[in-house]
Structure 1
Amino acid sequence: MMTGQLAVLSPNANMKMSPEARARMRAVEKNVYKYYNDMGKNKGHCTWGAGILAHKGVCTNEELGRKVSVKSVDQEFERRVADAERSVRRNIKVLINQAQFDALCSLTYNVGATGASGTYGYVNENDFAGAATNISKMIKVEIKAKGRKKLVIAPGLIKRREEESGPFRIKNES
């Protein structure tokens, strides 16, 4: 059983997302200063700011009219990046390098810790090829069409997942 002190000394306890990775993610997560549906008109999930999920399902008409400030977007982006960093530090039990940490933070920011848990499992087993494959498969989102839920490929996720899986396609040299 781990004591609180040993838990703090996890192999990635002092890692933070690199400034370059934060900048890349911020460029990918376009700033939109209003609420919008992430898959287009009446499709996907209600989102705002820098790819920030408001809730699953499409926005209401009231939400679509809601504007958000630059300050709100910046603050929420920083808060969610910090949440993603904590999740990766808490869930990854093996030593990873900076590129892998950055990739897992990006993935976690986008799908949440629960969504990333399968990938965490591969990483913790030192199965980096499995982690890369798992990340690469995460390109579909659930939408409602004609009252039914279905999974569709989100074109914007293809390049993102390719970048996130890249650090796991090479042997960990940390």
Structure 2
Amino acid sequence: MPNETKQMSAAGLNALRTREGAVLHYYNDIANNCTFGVGGLAHHGPCTDEEMRRPVNAADVNAQLAVSVRSAEAAVRRQVPRRELSQDQFDALVSYTYNTGPTGAHPVLSAANAGQDAQVVSHMNRNVNVVPRDAHGRRLRPVRSAGLVNRRREEAAPFQPPVPAR
């Protein structure tokens, strides 16, 4: 397997941290899900009052990030076994998988495995909606997120064809 020893690079990890931000407390994300740290989902639905008062330290955030990145790396390695990825492509797929989860990333990872870069870009650029939840955790209508549009543009970049020189 050509990607079996790949890990997210330091540059990829820094880009992920920048995209996600690091928050040292629990908060309700754009979809109204209880989140903390570097976009770490605590649970679906809004945070409780107790969670909102609960402090989170840098060690907790770094531990959550490390576990989640390792999980995303493993999913990329498992679902892209046939095609050798560049480091930038691997980092982009790990970032995408970190954000969407392995199930949400499956169409993108399948396209990447098949060498269908245009499909990777297309799938990524379509995945720019969030599904907010009401105060009771019930799903509402999807909403387009400008932040995800920008993030997907960055994540899709390593799969874009090179621009010819003039």
C-alpha distance in 1 between matches for 2:108 and 2:150: 18
Correspondence for 1:160 among 151, 154, 162:
151
**Is contact 2:32–2:134 with CA below 8 Å preserved after alignment?**
no
C-alpha distance in 2 between matches for 1:62 and 1:53: 16
Q: In the alignment, which residue of structure 1 is the partner of 2:50?
A: 62
Return structure 1 stretches of 4+ with deviation > 2 angstroms. Answer: 144-148
Correspondence for 2:41 among 18, 29, 53:
53
Runs of at least 5 residues in structure 2 that lack an aligned partner in the other structure: none
**Is contact 1:44–1:141 with CA below 8 Å preserved after alignment?**
no
Q: In the alignment, which residue of structure 2 is the partner of 1:128?
A: 117
**Is contact 2:33–2:133 with CA below 8 Å preserved after alignment?**
no
Match of 1:53, SS state, is strand
Q: In the alignment, which residue of structure 2 is the partner of 1:5?
A: none
Residue 143 of structure 1 and its aligned partner are, at CA, apart by: 1.0
TM-score by length of 2: 0.89
Q: In the alignment, which residue of structure 2 is the partner of 1:73?
A: 61
C-alpha distance in 2 between matches for 1:113 and 1:88: 8
Q: How large is the RMSD of aligned CA atoms in angstroms?
A: 1.6
C-alpha distance in 2 between matches for 1:68 and 1:18: 26
Number of aligned residues: 159
Correspondence for 1:118 among 107, 131, 137:
107
TM-score by length of 1: 0.85
Paired residues for 1:1-16 under 5 Å:
10-16=1-7
Opposite residue 129 of structure 2, the aligned amino acid is K
C-alpha distance in 2 between matches for 1:167 and 1:148: 33
Residue 148 of structure 1 and its aligned partner are, at CA, apart by: 5.5
Residue 155 of structure 1 and its aligned partner are, at CA, apart by: 2.2
Aligned: 1:29 with 2:20: yes
Correspondence for 1:107 among 75, 96, 101:
96
Identity %: 37
In terms of fraction of residues, the more strand-rich structure is 1
C-alpha distance in 2 between matches for 1:46 and 1:86: 25
Runs of at least 5 residues in structure 1 that lack an aligned partner in the other structure: 1-9
